Amino acid sequence: MNDMRALIFEEPWKMTLQNLPRPALEAGEVLIKMESVGICGSDVHGFTGESGRRAPGMVMGHEIVGRIEEVAKDVTEKEVGQRVTVFNVLSEHTPSDEEGDSSFLNKRVVGVNLGTRGAMAEYLAIPAVNAIPASEHIPAEVSVLAEPVAVALHGFDRLEQKNIHGQNIAIIGSGTIGLCTLLVAKSLGYSNLAVLDLIPEKLKRAQDFGGLIVSIEKDDSFIEVEKKTIEVLGAKPDLIIDAVGTKSSFGQAFEMVAEKGCLLLIGNLAKEVELPLQDLISKEISLVGTYGFGLKAFEKAVQILPQFQEELQTLIEGHCSLKETPAVMTALAKGEKQALKIVIDF
């Protein structure tokens, strides 16, 4: 009764279902029984070993919804049975105003670099402050998407901090992050929004979400894509959000951004990109990097999920059990299975 099933990442392309001791609570912690856990693209890249961001012996899983099973004796603000989602960055202390976002205080992230403290397991012990109450009025699987919504919110917070606002906006990539960025942008009052992608099915989703669409062909040059984008937006984009993060997507964004425009960089698949320095300087282009999110952005994301429920529900294109997860990860990594979001059900 004190054991739990957990998926152990043993080596690239290999995960095994094992029995582990159920986590014992320390002071200030709660024990969460998993309800729904999202498979993130970063999990898949870690599973193959290409990103180097997942270590053998660990338990993955950082998009989390569950119910509190047990609370430590000193925890008074959380209750057994309460549905929660998890702010997955564990901080040593609460950040001061000068330190700002807690995501930059350390790199201790549940399901990323905390050993067996991950959500691809039946139970997870975390500090009570990281357990954020989740709505009972939307499905648990929708609350799993709090993280990508928070990523988008944090990106716009970064722009706001620098007093950067675009009039003609292009979002490169209509995956989960790109589509959540579109939803958040619309909620913030942005209207002239174009989404660029190669895949017609994904673009149809962006159109359904209220975005303009730019269909890219595989052999299109940067100039050809720029012309298509200008035709749709009516002007050169002055704010481009790269939700992909490849050499090609960055090159495309840099090629077509307006003078004095801004590139908001969310996707980070490529370790290095080419940067035309003279153009950057002479055109006075701003580059803004954004990584993860802080507690405030995550709490806001959880609060606004209900207004996006209908759209977010359509992003969930598959379900699997914990036992089925290794096969699903393999299929996703090999391109044999395509899905914006797959949720592990417990």
pLDDT score recorded for residue 104 = 47
The better pLDDT of the pair 282, 106 is held by 282
**Residue 107 scores a pLDDT above 70:** no
pLDDT score recorded for residue 85 = 98
* Residue 32: partners with Cβ closer than 8 Å, 6 or more residues away: 64, 66, 67, 68, 69, 84, 86, 123, 124, 125, 126, 131
Return the C-alpha torsion angle 287, 291, 297, 303, nearest 10: 110
pLDDT score recorded for residue 101 = 53
* Amino acid type, 156: F
* Residue 118: partners with Cβ closer than 8 Å, 6 or more residues away: 6, 58, 59, 60, 61, 62, 110, 111, 112, 124
**Residue 193 scores a pLDDT above 90:** yes
pLDDT score recorded for residue 1 = 62
pLDDT score recorded for residue 150 = 96
Lowest-pLDDT range of 77-81, 89-93, 155-159, 298-302: 89-93
> CA-CA distances (angstroms) from residue 157 to 11, 31, 33, 164, 254?
37, 32, 32, 10, 22
> pLDDT averaged over the chain?
93
pLDDT score recorded for residue 94 = 55
pLDDT score recorded for residue 41 = 86
Termini Cα distance of the chain: 17
Topology (CATH) of 3-145+315-345: Quinone Oxidoreductase; Chain A, domain 1 (3.90.180)
User: pLDDT exceeding 90 applies to what percent of the chain?
Assistant: 85
Determine contact, residues 29/75, Cβ cutoff 8 Å: yes
pLDDT score recorded for residue 99 = 41
- Which sequence spans correspond to the domains of the chain? 3-145+315-345, 149-289
Determine contact, residues 66/84, Cβ cutoff 8 Å: yes
Beta strands in 198-330 (DSSP E): 212-215, 239-242, 262-265, 286-289, 316-320
pLDDT in tens, 111-132: 888 888 999 999 999 999 999 9
Give the DSSP H/E element, type plus range, for residue 226: helix 222-233
pLDDT score recorded for residue 98 = 42
pLDDT in tens, 220-267: 999 999 999 999 999 999 999 999 999 999 999 999 999 999 999 999
pLDDT score recorded for residue 326 = 98
Query: What's the predicted TM-score (pTM) here?
Result: 0.89
Q: What does the pLDDT average to over 172-196?
A: 97
CATH of domain 149-289: 3.40.50.720
Lowest-pLDDT range of 43-47, 100-104, 183-187: 100-104
pLDDT score recorded for residue 49 = 87
CA distance 8 to 14: 9
Please give the structure tokens belonging to residue 44. Answer: 């898949």
Lowest-pLDDT range of 107-111, 132-136, 211-215, 238-242: 107-111
